[in-house]
Amino acid sequence: MTDFSRRQVLGAAATTAILAAAGLPFPVLAQQGRSSVTLAIGRDIQGLLTPADRTGPIEGNIMRTVCQGLIRFKPGSFDWELSAAKSLTQVNDTTIEFELNPGLMFHGGFGEMTADDVKFSFEQFGKIGADGKPAGYAKDWAALDHVEVTGKYTGKILLKSAAPQLWLVVLPDNSGLIISKKAFEGGAYRSDAQPIKLIGTGAYILAEWVPNQRVVLKANPDWKGTKPTFPEVVLQPVRDPKTAELALRANELQFTPVEPADAGEIEKEKDTKLLKQDSINYVWIGLNVEKPPFDNAKVRQALRLAIDVDQVLAGAYNGTVKPAYALMAPGLLGYWADAPKPKPDPAAAKKLLAEAGHPNGFKCTLTLMNKPTFQAIGQIVQALWAEIGVQVDLQVLDAGAYYAVGKGDSGKNLDMALQRFGGKADPAFQTQWFVASQIGTWNWQRWNDPAFDEASAKAASTNDKAERNRLYIEAQKRMEASGAFIWLTHEANIFAFRPWLKPAVLPNGDDMLYDRFTTA
Amino acid sequence: MSPTLRYVGSRLVTTVLVLVCATVLLFSLTLFIPGNPAEVLLGPRATPEAVAAYSHIMGLDRPLLERLAIFLGNVLKGDLGRDVISGRPVLDLVLEVFPYTLTLTLSAIGLAVLLGVPLGCYAATHPGSVLDQVGAVTSVAFIALPNFVVAVFLVLIFSVWLHWLPVLGVGRDGGWGDAVLRLILPALSLALSWIGYIARLLRASLLEVLGEAHIRTARAYGVPERRIVYRNALKLAAIPTVAILGLGVGRLLGGAIFAEIIFARPGLGTLVYDAIAVRNYPVVQAAVLVVVGVFTLTNLLTDLSYLWLDPRLGRRLGEGR
């Protein structure tokens, strides 16, 4: 024991301190080269890496980088350009013809992409899995009848009915990605086989996935398109947004999404840039119209009038987002520019409550997810409703419990929920959750309006853009009249990154084009 | 049978009983959750046929006791089920991340011992000195500060301001140097409160032992003070500290979750955290079972270590006194 002399201990401590100050043993000090870029992702890969059964945007972004679709989105917009296809033409309402670029090679020795792979990839969405489970994204290709292969590189996508949303939420997106039939049948894309194989023809290869540690994408040497700027993209799962912000400041990450409330503070940091773009997502409070007292339209109206949306957004989002007045965000087809913009009026709200038989208010529960921003919204709303006598208990749940709460019969007991859905470029994606058939699934308002369902269905099955615009506005008017939706915001996407980096993010904020990240 | 063997035998029986009870409790986890776990797992898009098929795969359509028997039988065979999301054997997932949690836990406890024991010894042999008083204040401060606050401060100081140490992950190249650097901050953030605990506890028990008759006798015989403290007194005074360390290893194995999240490290904590978020019960059950197993084993080893530290205990405990 204690064989060290005091002199030895002091000497060792001094040496360590000098080395530490010089930074010699600490590789983190070394300036990272630009051959690699490390980007934060909110969670690790979960589940399959197939377009039909992907779990969410994390997997989708990786797949989009490794696989090609016939067309793809341009950075920062929902405009598309040709990708694997040499041409893609809508011949009539139910026929789309395609011709592939020849010579697109699947990496890993799985051969050239052909029209057979296109057929296999798209028809995969209609198949029932071995476990009796339909494909997770089966709805995306619900209009598909079949794909007819007319040549090695040519074919026809034959639809059961007109499906305009294919051009914005399917073909250029993850559900339009083309996988190798041969690789799939050989066991690729499966997460229960390690190492997982994601085979594509895109700009990058999934070179390494170390669960819970990193996903490494390396530039595909066979890629014939524009060479990506970074030979390597490392995706680092970081569950805690604050940790990601600290890691960015420590230069361990070069890009991360940030919480709106923290944006101001981060903006002050030198060597850090912020990208802020208005989103097309939507956050709202949904009232269960089947459950008293919310089955009374005057109660719903009163609750809405008591909320000062600007105050809620200032408190919860630090003023970084704009208020929403309807389902569709500005810029989308069906955006309702003239939607009513109600001013907060607690006196009128109290009067309506009295007319509805609740002069002293009532008690109820607002269910929300355990995210800091949502909890802040809940607390502000709680205070605002207390002014008109409505006592709200906040039921804060983790994601698993939250997403189960509105489902099936348990949804009948729900008073109201603070909800946030991600948007896509076509309005059909947004309206699909509020139809009657979604009651007990995603329509937690349990709102049943045949006129809304009819307008949504008509709009989703016509290629007439003006008519679609009219129908979607009509549908939103029905939502407005119901009073079941208290719209809060379409959110904003805020990302922090090193000034030399130029990220490529789609307008919904969840979807990234990693192969288009470049230097500023 | 010797008293020591009897004591070891009784502790082994208790350990097995604890493990069986924990396994049964874990099995009942799925019974207390509202709704059908298959429905929760498959999500809202699942058809009733898919839910029925998954319920069958998960064995939810079988009688309760049969399910329990199957579960216990599978656990005994080392089959902890399959991850419902990836389809991989759960044991593989747990074994992949367990070394990271174990390394972090042992590093934190090792660091706490390395700093806490000398501090405690010094404070006991120099009671009332300036360093003893400073040590008392800092120890209490370390104990009182929540680990996650310490972690954030450590990151701010050593990573953001000084750029000395990395924040994220466990290292990429498999190099020991990088892995050790990435271990320093999480281990230190976990260790700090334990340094305080150990220093205070050891000081108190050492002071007590140093006042005992046999120590006075040793002093009267002229045995050097250093030898008395480190050879005789410390071994006896270490028993309460070892007991606390045994509990500490168990607590850190299950409680290193905040360090794993803040420092984006793989481990049992993050595995359970992610699994709970998506109601992936087989993973939760397996990970918790492993933590319970290691916790119980650590406590067994801790109890057995008393016999080495003070052989008189074995005789007394074996005689039921």
Are the C-beta atoms of residues B173 and B153 closer than 8 Å to each other?
no
Strands A232-237 and A501-502 come out as unpaired
pLDDT for residue B253: 77
pLDDT over 70 at B284, yes or no: yes
Residue of B41, B157, B167, B268 best to disrupt the A interface, most CBs of A under 10 A: B167
Element (H, E) at A494: strand A492-497
A507 cis-preceded (ω within 30 degrees of 0) = no
| Chain A residues touching residue B164 (CB < 8 angstroms) | 20, 23, 26, 28-29
More confident residue, A151 or B163: A151
pLDDT for residue A30: 39
Q: Which of B9-13, B42-46, B93-97 has the highest mean pLDDT?
A: B93-97
| Chain B residues touching residue A23 (CB < 8 angstroms) | 163-164
Compute φ and ψ for A493, nearest 5 degrees. Answer: -100, 125
pLDDT for residue A385: 96
The whole-chain average pLDDT of chain A stands at 89
CA of A404 to nearest chain B CA: how many angstroms apart?
Answer: 7
Q: Is B159 in Cβ contact with A191 (below 8 Å)?
A: no
ipTM comes to 0.74
Compute φ and ψ for A416, nearest 5 degrees. Answer: -160, 160
Element (H, E) at A210: strand A204-210
pLDDT tens figures, B286-304:
888 888 888 888 888 888 8
- The pTM (predicted TM-score) of the whole model is 0.79
Tokens of A301: 């109206």
Q: What is the mean pLDDT of residues B103-114?
A: 92
Residue of A6, A46, A212 best to disrupt the B interface, most CBs of B under 10 A: A212
pLDDT tens figures, B134-169:
888 888 888 888 888 889 899 999 998 898 999 888
Residue of A9, A19, A26, A39 best to disrupt the B interface, most CBs of B under 10 A: A26
Q: Is B261 in Cβ contact with A240 (below 8 Å)?
A: yes
| Chain B residues touching residue A249 (CB < 8 angstroms) | 160
| Chain B residues touching residue A400 (CB < 8 angstroms) | 40, 276-279
Q: Residues of chain B with pLDDT > 70: what percent? A: 86
Q: Residues of chain A with pLDDT > 70: what percent? A: 92
Residue A422's SS3 state is: coil
Tokens of A331: 């810029």
Q: Is A131 in Cβ contact with B261 (below 8 Å)?
A: no
Q: Which of A136-140, B10-14, B152-156 has the highest mean pLDDT?
A: B152-156
pLDDT for residue B48: 64
Compute φ and ψ for A95, nearest 5 degrees. Answer: -135, 130
Q: Find the CB nearest B87 among A192, A238, A398.
A: A192
Q: What is the mean pLDDT of residues A458-481?
A: 95
Let me know if A470 is exposed, middle or buried by CB neighbors in 10 A (0-12, 13-18, 19+).
middle
pLDDT tens figures, A432-465:
999 999 998 889 999 999 999 999 999 998 989 9
pLDDT for residue A54: 84
Residue of A133, A190, A256, A432 best to disrupt the B interface, most CBs of B under 10 A: A133
Q: Is B278 in Cβ contact with A442 (below 8 Å)?
A: no
Distance between CA B61 and CA B44 in Å, rounded?
20
| Chain B residues touching residue A52 (CB < 8 angstroms) | none
Looking at residue A235, its amino acid is: L
If pLDDT is split at 50, 70 and 90, which confidence band does A12 have? low
Distance between CA A485 and CA A447 in Å, rounded?
10
pLDDT for residue A23: 42
Q: What is the mean pLDDT of residues A248-260?
A: 90
| Chain B residues touching residue A211 (CB < 8 angstroms) | 93, 96-97, 266
Helices and strands: H and E segment counts in chain B: 15, 0
| Chain B residues touching residue A237 (CB < 8 angstroms) | 264
> What residue of A is the nearest CA neighbor of B226?
A2
Over the range A270-308, which residues count as b (16 or more CB within 10 Å of their CB) and which as e? eebbebbebbbbbbbbbbbbebebbebebbbbbbbbbbb
Could you tell me how many CB contacts below 8 A there are between chain A and chain B?
155
The whole-chain average pLDDT of chain B stands at 82
pLDDT tens figures, A177-236:
999 999 998 888 876 666 778 999 999 999 998 888 899 999 999 898 889 999 999 999
Q: Is B86 in Cβ contact with A47 (below 8 Å)?
A: yes
pLDDT over 50 at B176, yes or no: yes
CA of A242 to nearest chain B CA: how many angstroms apart?
Answer: 8
Q: What is the spatial order of strands in the sheet that A416-421 belongs to?
A: A391-397, A363-369, A416-421, A282-287, A485-489
pLDDT tens figures, A354-387:
999 999 999 999 999 988 889 999 999 999 999 9
pLDDT for residue A2: 40
pLDDT for residue B37: 63
pLDDT for residue A216: 95
Q: What is the mean pLDDT of residues A51-80?
A: 91
Q: Which of A5-9, A120-124, B211-215 has the highest mean pLDDT?
A: A120-124
pLDDT for residue A32: 47
More confident residue, B25 or A428: A428
| Chain B residues touching residue A192 (CB < 8 angstroms) | 82-83, 86-88
Q: Is A246 in Cβ contact with B155 (below 8 Å)?
A: yes
pLDDT tens figures, A311-355:
999 999 888 899 999 999 998 999 999 999 989 999 999 999 999
CA of B95 to nearest chain A CA: how many angstroms apart?
Answer: 12
Q: What is the mean pLDDT of residues A109-135?
A: 88
> What residue of A is the nearest CA neighbor of B57?
A131
Half-sphere CA count of A237, side-chain side, radius 13 A: 23
Q: Find the CB nearest B168 among A43, A138, A238.
A: A238
- CA B272 → CA A99, A238, B24, distances in Å? 47, 15, 18
If pLDDT is split at 50, 70 and 90, which confidence band does A1 have? very low
CB count within 10 Å of CB A466 equals 9
Tokens of B10: 């009784």
Tokens of B143: 């104990």
Q: What is the DSSP string of A331-375?
A: TSTT--TT---PPP-HHHHHHHHHHTT-TT--EEEEEEES-HHHH
State the virtual CA torsion across B143, B131, B184, B247 in degrees, nearest 10.
Answer: -40
> What residue of A is the nearest CA neighbor of B87?
A192
8-state DSSP, B170:
S
More confident residue, B38 or A197: A197
pLDDT for residue A44: 86
Return the minimum-mean-pLDDT range out of A30-34, A248-252, B27-31, B316-320: A30-34
If pLDDT is split at 50, 70 and 90, which confidence band does A21 have? very low
pLDDT for residue B188: 93
Residue of B152, B161, B168, B230 best to disrupt the A interface, most CBs of A under 10 A: B168
